[in-house]
Amino acid sequence: MATTIVIANRKGGSGKTTTSVNMAAGLAKRGRRVLVVDVDSQAQATTSCGIIPAQQTISVYELLQGVAAGQSMSTGLRKTIIKNGHPFDLLPSRADLSALEIEVSHHDNAQFLLRDLLLIVDNDYDYILIDSAPSLGLITVNSLVAAQQLIIPVEANFLSMDGLAQMIQILYRINLELNPDLRLLGIVPVKCDLRTNLARSVLDEIKKNFGADKLLPPVRNDIKLAEAPSFGQTISEYAPACRGAKDYDALSAAVLRKGGDNHGGK
C-alpha cells in the first residue's frame, strides 16, 4: 500500500512543485517506488519533468472525468503514467484541468475522484506525491482527501505565516468533514537565507506554534533550484553538488524517518 503525501499551500509560489519533484527524486534514490501526481492546471510538475503538457493526449483531467462518469480507469491510468528517464513516474496534468471543477461539482462523489483514481495504483508505488494547486478549489480538496500525510512548504517570511495558519485550519476541516486520516507530516521552510534573523525567527515561530517535530529540514535559497526545471531536470540531475540538492536530499531522508516509512528500499 502506497503512502500518499500531498504537498499543499494556498499561497502561490511557496515551493510546492519544487518540493514535489525534488523530494520524489530523493525518495526514489533511496529505492522507493514513487509517483508524482500533477493536479495543478499550471502543469508545472509536468513541465519540470521535461514533459510538454499540451502534447499529452490524456492527462489527469480525462482520468478524473472518467472516474466521475463511473468508468473503470485502470487501463487508462496505467497508459497515462509516464516513465520518462527520471527515477520516478509522473501522472501529467494539462491546462484544461481547470474546467473539471465546474464539470463535476454536482457529482455526489466530487471530492473523492482523485482518491478513487489513485487506489488503482496503490500497490504499484511506495510513495505517491501530489503536487497541488495554489487555491482551495475542488481539485485541491480532492488532493487533501486522497492523502494520508500533508507537507506544507512555506517561504521563510512573516507574511507566509498567515497562510500557514490558514492551511492548518483547512487541515482540521478536512479531518472533520472528509478525510479523518490526513495528518500533518511537517512544514518545510523554503527559499531560506539562514544567515538572516528573519529566517531564524520564522523557524523559531514554526517550532513554537506547531512543535519542533513538525519542522522539517529547511531548503535554502538556491538559484539552481529555479534553473533546473527549464532543463526538465531534478536538482540532483542538474547540479548534484549544490546546496539545493543537499537540502532536498536531507528533506527526503527526514520524510522517510518522520513519516514512519515501512517500504524498505535499498
Ligand X SMILES: Nc1ncnc2c1ncn2[C@@H]1O[C@H](COP(=O)(O)OP(=O)(O)OP(=O)(O)O)[C@@H](O)[C@H]1O
Strand runs labelled E in 158-259:
183-190
List of residues 6+ apart from 226 with CB closer than 8 A: none
Listed ranges 9-17, 79-87, 108-116, 143-151: which one lies at the site for Mg ion (CB under 5 A)? 9-17
Q: Tell me how far apart the alpha carbons of residues 142 and 213 are, in angstroms, rounded to a whole number.
A: 27
Q: Which is nearer to Mg ion, 43 or 68 (CB)?
A: 43
If the CB atoms of residues 194 and 226 are measured against ligand X, the closer one turns out to be: 226
Q: How many CB atoms lie within 10 A of CB 193?
A: 11
Residue with smaller CB distance to ligand X, 15 or 186: 15
The nearer residue to ligand X, 18 or 67, going by C-beta atoms, is 18
Q: From the CB of 123, what's the least distance to Mg ion, in Å? A: 28
Residue 89 or 222 having the CB closest to ligand X: 222
95 interface partner picked from Mg ion, ligand X, none, CB below 5 to 8 A per type: none
Q: Where are the alpha helices (DSSP H) in 91-152?
A: 100-104, 113-119, 138-146
CB of 56 to ligand X, least distance (A): 18
What is the total count of residues that contact Mg ion (CB under 5 A)? 3
* Residue 265 C-beta: closest distance to Mg ion, Å: 27
Spell out where the chain has E strands: 3-7, 34-38, 89-91, 127-131, 149-155, 183-190
Q: Which residues bind ligand X (CB under 6 A)?
A: 12-18, 40, 42, 44, 134, 190-191, 219, 221-223, 225-226, 244
Minimum separation from the CB atom of position 9 to ligand X (A): 6
Strands (E), 132-217: 149-155, 183-190
Residue 68 class from Cβ within 10 Å (0-12 exposed, 13-18 middle, 19+ buried)? buried
Pairing of strands 183-190, 149-155: parallel
Q: Which sign does the torsion angle of CA 223, 225, 226, 230 carry?
A: positive
Residue of 4, 14, 17, 41 that binds Mg ion (CB under 5 A)? 17
What's at 166, amino acid-wise? Q
> 67, 159 in Cβ contact below 8 A?
no
Under rule CB under 5 A, residue 11 binds Mg ion: no
User: Residue 13 binds what, of Mg ion, ligand X, none (CB under 5 to 8 Å, by partner type)?
Assistant: ligand X
Q: Is the CB of 77 or the CB of 114 nearer to ligand X? A: 114
- Smallest distance, ligand X to C-beta of residue 81, A: 21
16 or 32: CB nearest Mg ion = 16
Residues between 136 and 165 that touch Mg ion (CB under 5 A) = none
In the list 3, 14, 19, 44, the residue contacting Mg ion (rule: CB under 5 A) is: 44
DSSP annotation of 14: S
* DSSP code of residue 193: -
